[in-house]
Homo-oligomer: A and B are copies of this chain.
């Protein structure tokens, strides 16, 4: 029938960033709504290096909602996916009923196809779910014409996804309400706020699959007395100090708080019963190297932070990033050559001084680090105009 042949899907593509928390989120007070036991604060990483791309399509001929992740169709009935879909559709319905004359309204009974890819390996241990859910929610909201505060929708996919809804420096305010409406992310400063800040991801070799963060934080909430204390009595003050440090671009204060908070998060994992360990011996060597590097200069020039895995994320200022990378190469001699070892933003070559090398005084550890991703602070989710980058074709299937 001619009418049916003319019907092509409405297609829309977005990208969203990864974020790295400097005040860590660990523990939910409500598992379904994903409400955290403390506020957290993150830096959004630049999408030139790390991003999720998601294409959404809607068409009256689609028989069911479907989703493809990194080239493979997966079950759309995952509860958290369903939470996001349901919530966006609810907001869309609400908006359409508010604006009765909306001419461009999308038929809400139409099914969607979703296709999403990361430009970084899942094995890199980066929080791909944060970028993934942020991208999904952003894209669906654009598709359905939903506006307003969307971080609370992304939060229901994956807690930290709410922070990937913004660029720059982002806080996730824990909120108090039991319905979660005040548990939202907000941008403290855009990505242009602190242009000197550089970020390195040190991808650590690891054969072991660590405990997933959802299960991990659930056990921690149940069993760790220290986590409860951290959430209630340590984090509120740290949030304030971190907001100040970032506001003033005070690198030393920012760096110290970042390291302390990463350490405290891992301490609460160790206080969990049975204990959870995300840091391995290479992670600890990196930490040790950072502390010795800072000691050598008598001020803090680099900071580490670790999420639920052994990979280090390092913050430095641009004047020091070249030296720090040489330090890594010196102490973790790469198997591959330098070009493959360092990915992302280019870094100027620096020669390490002998004093610095001997001040560190650590034996080199071969092959401990697989590669480094060099990046910086970046913007929030973006719409992709170029249709050649769309992941779904006009047939609504992955290209």
Contacts and interface: CB of A to CB of B under 8 A. Distances in A.
A260 interface: yes
Interface string A223-246: 001100110011000000000000
Contacts of A277: 284
Contacts of A287: 274-275
Contacts of A233: 225, 229
Interface residues of A, number: 26
A263 interface: yes
A281 interface: yes
A322 interface: no
Interface in A267-292: 267-268, 270-275, 277, 280-281, 284, 287, 291
A234 B259 CA distance: 25
A198 interface: no
A257 to B, nearest CB: 10
Contacts of A264: 225-226, 270-271
B263 A273 contact: yes
Nearest to A260: B273
Question: How many identical chains are in the complex?
Answer: 2
A21 to B, nearest CB: 17
A273 B287 CA distance: 11
Contacts of A256: 273
A266 interface: yes
A13 to B, nearest CB: 43
Contacts of A275: 263, 287
Interface in A148-206: none
A271 B271 CA distance: 11
A280 B274 CA distance: 17
Contact of A291 (B260, B274, B291): B274
Contacts of A226: 226, 229-230, 234, 264, 267-268, 271
B270 A270 contact: yes
Nearest to A273: B260
Q: Which of A226, A264, A273 has the most CB of B within 10 A?
A: A226
A219 B296 CA distance: 19
A188 to B, nearest CB: 24
B281 A271 contact: no
A270 B284 CA distance: 10
B271 A263 contact: yes
A267 B228 CA distance: 14
A263 B226 CA distance: 11
Interface string A374-393: 00000000000000000000
13 contacts: A225-B233, A225-B264, A226-B226, A226-B230, A259-B274, A264-B270, A266-B270, A267-B267, A267-B268, A267-B271, A270-B270, A274-B287, A274-B291
9 cross-chain pairs, A with B, having the tightest CB-CB distances, nearest first: A267-B271, A267-B270, A267-B267, A274-B291, A229-B229, A263-B275, A226-B226, A281-B281, A264-B271
